């Protein structure tokens, strides 16, 4: 190992450090996005809870006047 240059011996720890740093960065960004999504869901829940119920009713299906013709 004495024949190798110090730069070659430092390549492995540097690569490992960069890999770990990128993984930590990914997880931090993921957790921030998850917290933002949770906050938006919680706000949406409270808006639906305090709004009049007639705004969020589902439309009734309309009866069909013409028969549906299907191809064979």
- Domain positions in the chain: 6-52
More confident residue, 17 or 56: 17
Global confidence as pTM: 0.47
CB distance 17 to 9 below 8 Å:
no
DSSP 26-56: HHHHHHHHHHHHHHHHHHHHHHHHHS-GGGG
Nearest to 24 by CA among 32, 35, 12, 36: 32
The whole-number pLDDT of residue 29 equals 96
Q: Over 90: is that where the pLDDT of 24 sits?
A: yes
């Amino acid at each position: 190992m004495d024949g190798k240059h110090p730069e070659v011996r430092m390549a492995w720890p540097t690569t490992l450090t960069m890999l770990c740093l990128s993984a930590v960065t990914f997880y931090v960004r993921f957790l921030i996005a998850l917290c933002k999504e949770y906050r938006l869901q919680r706000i949406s829940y409270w808006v639906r809870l305090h709004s009049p119920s007639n705004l969020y009713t589902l439309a009734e299906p309309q009866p069909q006047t013409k028969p549906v013709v299907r191809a064979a």
